[in-house]
Structure 1
């Protein structure tokens, strides 16, 4: 069911990318808080230094879960993240109805898949792996330039779409 102020106007790519930049600020804050709490919980031994630097095996999965939870919870509690609010866009199911938890989870997982390209760092170097991730995300968002409903790949996979709010 649509909210009275929702429209059927799809969200243009530039607007969704602007919202993503705003969300990046929230994600950085979340990562910093999780990092601080992890350092406190380990007594400052989250990162082992010496001949070889090593991060606790659970730290990166924890960060991924917490950041993913931010997006999923935001989408389920009103269809908007902090970054989507000022740009007046809302995430809805493809039929215009309320987002289901499985859709939100699928969307965040598919959107994060290009991060796996960071695993190429031993062969490409960190800079090359980061560029691979950026190219991967460009490929993920490219369909939004041509799709009539302006859906990115993760929207197609999760049967969702972003709509402008009147």
Structure 2
């Protein structure tokens, strides 16, 4: 006599359908910054840069006056600084000020104060923050077209106004080039293998947090 083993039927409960499913929010990704946004950020930074250059120029003028000239008490006795002092001391100091300004911000957080306002971030092609060498290369690349335009302007007109206007047009050309480049890159982006991105709000780290994280990672 054989006993039949009762079969246990396991009823699987089907998961309830979520009738109130919310759509998954679209995650914004970094994009190449538009030229207009980049120019506005430069104008923001320009005010701070002019203040720094004015401070450096004032200090060097006072030092140069004390070291190279005799000071008088009358306006007729006023003199200009020697040409060699302007070319050997002052001009390199202005260049080093620009390199230090952008280099420190780009190496620490990838953005200056003006760039932070518009959520811009400069990185290399691998997506990493720039080194001192890459920062210097990018600054030289950005100065190339203003230099070429300035030389052309000096050959055509010769006056200082024409020289400055030509150099400014060279700076504008860097960003007008974005409109004709397939990827929207500026001249300095291509020559230095770097890129300026427009960061989404959720991924925008912020300047001071970027400084803090950079220091913590070292």
If the TM-score is normalised by the length of the shorter chain, which range does it land in?
Answer: 0.7 to 0.9
Q: Which residue of 2 aligns with 1:125?
A: 159
Q: Which residue of 2 aligns with 1:144?
A: 178
- In 1: Cα distance, 2:149 partner to 2:184 partner: 25
> 1:161: Cα distance to partner?
0.9
Structure 2 spans left out of the alignment, 5+ residues: 1-26, 71-77, 201-218
> 1:121: Cα distance to partner?
4.3
Using the size of structure 1 for normalisation, the TM-score is 0.82
- In 2: Cα distance, 1:118 partner to 1:147 partner: 23
Whose radius of gyration is greater, 1 or 2?
2
The superposition leaves residues 15-71 of structure 1 with CA deviations (integer Å, 9 ceiling, x where unpaired) of 000000011111101111101221332345679965x77452311111111112211
- Is 1:100 matched up with 2:131? yes
In 2 relative to 1, CA 6–101 (structure 1 residues): closer, same or farther, beyond 3 Å? farther
Larger deviation, residues 129-138 vs 52-61: 52-61
Relative contact order (alpha carbons < 8 A, sep ≥ 6): 1 or 2 greater? 1
Q: Which residue of 1 aligns with 2:6?
A: none
Structure 1 spans left out of the alignment, 5+ residues: none
- Is 1:16 matched up with 2:50? no
Report the number of matched residues.
Answer: 161
In 2 relative to 1, CA 96–61 (structure 1 residues): closer, same or farther, beyond 3 Å? same
**RMSD (CA atoms):** 2.8
Q: Secondary structure at the match of 1:98?
A: coil
